[in-house]
Structure 1
Amino acid sequence: MRNAGVGGWPARRARMTPGRTAFVFGDRRLTYAEVHERSARLASRLREAGVQAGDRVAYLGPNHPAFAETMFATHLLGAVFVPLNFRLAPPEIAYMLDHSGASVLVHAPECAPPAASAPLTLSLEELEPWLSQGEATPLDVPVTLDDVALILYTSGTTGRPKGAMLTHANLVWNTFNVMVGVDVAGDEVTLISAPLFHVAALNQTLLPTFVKGGCSVIMPSWDVEGCYDLIEKHGITWMFGVTTMFAAFARSPRWAGADLSSLRHLMGGGAAIPAPLIHTYQERGLVFCQGYGLTETAPGATFLEASQSARKVGSAGVPVFFANVRVAGPDLADAVVGEVLVQGPNVTPGYWRDPEATAAAFSEGGWFHTGDIARIDEEGHLHIVDRVKDMYISGGENVYPAEVEAVMFEHPAVAEVAVVGVRDATWGEVGRAFVVRRQGADVTEDELRGFLQRRLAKYKIPRYFEMVDDLPRTGSGKIHKPALRDHPAP
């Protein structure tokens, strides 16, 4: 087999465990042999449609087995897979299709493609009969580990989104890093509930599970009740989520009485999970593996193994096995608090069709600048402080919203909170907190201010508090702070 990339994985796995279940979606089950055959048939049809090595194939839609099949088929041809955020507006999707130069778009029926779309557009309803006409014999196109496998568009919090390129080597080395940090087993039953167009759901859970021959139970989208049902029905052993997902799961009336004994691994990412929430899970005998990373690092950069989770609550862990991570000051010298830099085989080669952004993201030695600020403790563990761009300066003092949010989260009436800096004539900038209260709970601005005054320096306490029903989010579930900064002034 000349395909050294991810496209060869279905064939390799099917040789070893053809009858084992690879994917569960609703009442449908697909074995590894079936995934191998269907991916080969789809690759055959894509080649007939003109797709060649290096071409781009895009996917638009909620989580579905066709996402993985389209990816594997694309990689069998040495082409580049472009997962798109279906929650974006049509003009945003149209920009990504145009920028990537996608020649094929596969989409869910409910996700209408924009008017200016790819030359070949297929809905999932059309895909099934289309691929059935393809040849089941696998193609043997040469693909190297250095070839680009994915273009993943960043959230685009400032300006146009950038297309981060990830090579097959990036995916392979990230998979190795996950399997070093988590004891992924062949009998793993992994819940895929975060969106697959996001790097963590795909690279941190689905691909490692696939390599080990485990079963991925795919949810179209995150749903608390559905999650409880699937844990009970399938004996889920591993699940990934962001803070908002795990917080909602623990707030459910089913939390206290549900049988969660099958869960072996809980993996948190996206942002640091607050210590009170970690303790809530520990009280139920559930332990988090936590990590830190970005789309550009495929995504794992640091990891906190389960054995350390109780002792190092709130830490993002130490560098993953196959990567180097350091904290640097403005002069790029090592520092205790500074920007996180990452170097290793999991790091992106750059941004698609954007040499200027690529050059700006790296310093000498191939160190990638994350734009995140961290503190490194005496044991070498990283503690993510905040995004460089989220920090604001109030009266000459640096304020890191993540620190303020973590303290506010300890208040029993606070379900979620986001803090941003806003302009102020006296102090330059002051904090503005958006607070989502727990169901049935009430709290006033004065109560929150008093709570913080006992725990934080005065300059860190937000000037404004606003009670809201929910917070705006990016497609990956993170709080979208630019939307909060644009919120009408108090």
Structure 2
Amino acid sequence: MIGPGIGSWPARRARMNPATVALCTDDEELTYAELAVRVEHTAARLRELGVSAGTRVAYLGPNSIDTWVCFFATARAGGIFVSLNIRLAAPEIGYMLADSGSHVLVHGPECAELATASDPAEHGVAHVLPAADLRPSSRPEAAVGSPMPAPIAEEDPVELDDPVLILYTSGTTGRPKGAVLTHGNLTWNTVNQLAHVDVLSTDVALCVAPLFHVTGLGQVSMPTLLKGGAVVVVPKFEAGGFLALIVRRRATCFSAVPTMLQMMCEHPDWESADLSSLRYVIYGGSPIAEEVAQAWLDRGVVVQQGYGMTEASPGVFMALPDGASSRPVSAGVPHFFTDVRLDAEGEPVAGPGRGELLVRGPHVFAGYWNRPEETAQVLDKGWYRSGDVLRIEDDGWAYVVDRVKDMIISGGENIYPAEVEAAIAELADVSAAAVVGVPDQTWGEVGCAYVVLRSGADLDEIALRAHLEQRLARYKIPRYVEMCDELPRNATGKVLRSVLREQARQDHPSAH
């Protein structure tokens, strides 16, 4: 049941206070003192399972208090938290368990079947356990104003350069790769957020962005926790329910992808929902329609677009509260402790202009897990090559123009065509395949697959989709499948994706 602390949030005491609520759901709440005890208990339990400096602990489950506790406890024990996307298929989860060398797999009750189907033992995982097994036998009680508890067990000390988190990003070569973020990366991203946004100890933040994405951790929730605010953990997004939650909790902030914002402003409850408690909303992950941003601005909500990537923990640019309303689709200006530059065909762009974005700063990642060659391809003397083309205007505000990479962003999820194409190519009837993005009014982009069959093959779309459903997350499966005689190629045989993108627009005009 919900305790008295939540009902009194509008009058919460400012500043860090061990007795104030840190994390809560509709069924549970933890004060900061209770959270500290719970983390110490879980860290000690992980140590019993063999977790020490550098040990990987994988977690598979929707947003929950258990997710946060396991994350903090893994870090407390010196380990590395591997946050797994619950929307992936079992073979994808198995690959990540093996690639990361995870020693422990913790799962939420909703993902028990998926955890088993991923064959963790086959992939080297020594311990698989429900998140509930890491909880204390009884709820920890802490006296109001009591000091932080002493550690239950000796823990390995960590430095800012030590890795703490592995998040998998879809790979351009068909295999996801683990981006390694350090304690320092997450710390500096949080500092950047605090410098850019007026986070308060009285804030009530809704944590709805998934914690297996860096945005869920870094853009609102961790800065709020650092300031001593309250974070309401939301396991699943549903537009009407989320609008009601804003009202019920008197929420002050949250982060989301544009698709979520669009779904809410198109919901029947949009006009009647009381949004007056919201001080700011951060969104990013894909371009936003100007009318969606304007709909929120018209309701008096400060919406700030952010731009970043997993490899930057993630923040690089963010709109300022003053100026966002007149530039509703701008990604804003660089964070305080972030260096950026634009390159055009290998030459730096002097002043305003457009080019590939390079990023440098203490929040830029350490590299890809066990991928030195791929790390070297994107890190040049500390500068991370984003693969995105940005335009920076005379006033310093940035706009995302295009992608050097072929990545598709659908509802805030990154989809790399090479990964989908590799899965399609497993079918013996397939001669060649190419996947491109086509604009979509709801999801921003969706995939369109052009497939060439071998002579005499009788593969149909239903069989192709059934094959992909066994290998890929549903959001990666192309919305459209077109069987064709050949793919457009240049003189060297490279697929002309620009031609296919235009063809996809013509084939599916209703999508945009």
TM-score norm. by structure 2 comes to 0.75
Q: Which residue of 1 aligns with 2:445?
A: 418
Tell me by how many angstroms 1:307 deviates: 1.1
Q: Which residue of 2 aligns with 1:86?
A: 86
The answer to whether the 8 A contact 1:432-1:464 is kept is no
Q: Which residue of 2 aligns with 1:71?
A: 71
Q: Which residue of 2 aligns with 1:449?
A: none
Match runs of 1:52-451 below 5 Å: 52-111=52-111, 112=113, 113=115, 114-117=118-121, 118-128=125-135, 137=152, 139-156=154-171, 158-334=173-349, 336-363=353-380, 365-390=381-406, 405=439, 414-418=441-445
Tell me by how many angstroms 1:25 deviates: 1.0
Tell me by how many angstroms 1:173 deviates: 0.5
Q: 1:131 to 1:374 in 2, by over 3 A?
A: farther
The answer to whether the 8 A contact 2:78-2:155 is kept is no
Counterpart CA distance in 1 for 2:218 and 2:273 is 29
Q: 1:137 to 1:429 in 2, by over 3 A?
A: closer
Counterpart CA distance in 2 for 1:321 and 1:171 is 15
Q: Which residue of 1 aligns with 2:507?
A: 464
Deviation per CA, 1:415-464, whole angstroms, max 9, x where unpaired?
4553779755899566678xxxxxxxxxxxxxxxxxxxxxxxxx899322
Counterpart CA distance in 2 for 1:431 and 1:250 is 35
The answer to whether the 8 A contact 1:274-1:314 is kept is yes
The answer to whether the 8 A contact 1:193-1:222 is kept is yes
Counterpart CA distance in 2 for 1:126 and 1:461 is 49
SS in structure 1 of the partner of residue 291 of structure 2:
helix
Counterpart CA distance in 1 for 2:49 and 2:503 is 58
Q: Return the letter of the residue paired with 2:395.
A: E
Q: Which residue of 2 aligns with 1:439?
A: none
Counterpart CA distance in 1 for 2:203 and 2:499 is 44
Tell me by how many angstroms 1:338 deviates: 1.4
Deviation per CA, 1:273-298, whole angstroms, max 9, x where unpaired?
22121111111111211111000000
Counterpart CA distance in 2 for 1:301 and 1:233 is 32
Tell me by how many angstroms 1:369 deviates: 0.5
The answer to whether the 8 A contact 2:52-2:156 is kept is no
Tell me by how many angstroms 1:86 deviates: 1.2
Q: 1:55 to 1:66 in 2, by over 3 A?
A: same
Tell me by how many angstroms 1:390 deviates: 3.4
SS in structure 2 of the partner of residue 276 of structure 1:
helix
Counterpart CA distance in 1 for 2:267 and 2:366 is 42
Counterpart CA distance in 1 for 2:304 and 2:489 is 43
Deviation per CA, 1:229-284, whole angstroms, max 9, x where unpaired?
21121101001110110000101100011111001111011123221211111111
Tell me by how many angstroms 1:126 deviates: 2.6
Tell me by how many angstroms 1:97 deviates: 0.8
Tell me by how many angstroms 1:115 deviates: 1.6
Q: Which residue of 2 aligns with 1:45?
A: 45
Counterpart CA distance in 2 for 1:375 and 1:136 is 50
Q: Which residue of 2 aligns with 1:451?
A: none
Q: Could you tell which deviates more after superposition, 308-317 or 94-103?
A: 308-317
The answer to whether the 8 A contact 1:431-1:460 is kept is yes
The answer to whether the 8 A contact 1:85-1:197 is kept is yes
Q: Could you tell which deviates more after superposition, 47-56 or 151-160?
A: 151-160
Question: Unpaired runs of 5+ in structure 2?
Answer: 1-14, 141-148, 409-435, 451-486
Q: 1:429 to 1:210 in 2, by over 3 A?
A: closer
Deviation per CA, 1:294-348, whole angstroms, max 9, x where unpaired?
0000000111111110122211111110010111112242262211100010101
SS in structure 2 of the partner of residue 309 of structure 1:
coil
Tell me by how many angstroms 1:185 deviates: 0.2
The answer to whether the 8 A contact 1:265-1:289 is kept is yes
Counterpart CA distance in 2 for 1:355 and 1:281 is 43
Deviation per CA, 1:210-233, whole angstroms, max 9, x where unpaired?
100111101111111221221121
Question: Unpaired runs of 5+ in structure 1?
Answer: 1-14, 393-400, 434-458, 472-490
Asked if residue 22 in structure 1 is aligned to residue 29 in structure 2, the reply is no
Deviation per CA, 1:162-195, whole angstroms, max 9, x where unpaired?
1000011100100010011110000110011111
Q: 1:152 to 1:291 in 2, by over 3 A?
A: same
Tell me by how many angstroms 1:466 deviates: 5.0
Tell me by how many angstroms 1:50 deviates: 1.5
Q: 1:232 to 1:277 in 2, by over 3 A?
A: same
Q: 1:317 to 1:40 in 2, by over 3 A?
A: same
The answer to whether the 8 A contact 1:21-1:32 is kept is yes
Q: 1:136 to 1:344 in 2, by over 3 A?
A: closer
Q: 1:201 to 1:417 in 2, by over 3 A?
A: closer
SS in structure 1 of the partner of residue 167 of structure 2:
strand
The answer to whether the 8 A contact 2:488-2:500 is kept is no
Q: Return the letter of the residue paired with 2:283.
A: G
Tell me by how many angstroms 1:124 deviates: 2.3
Q: Which residue of 2 aligns with 1:486?
A: none
Q: 1:274 to 1:460 in 2, by over 3 A?
A: farther
Q: Percent identity?
A: 43
SS in structure 2 of the partner of residue 110 of structure 1:
helix
Q: 1:146 to 1:340 in 2, by over 3 A?
A: same
Q: Could you tell which deviates more after superposition, 459-468 or 330-339?
A: 459-468
Q: Return the letter of the residue paired with 1:83.
A: S
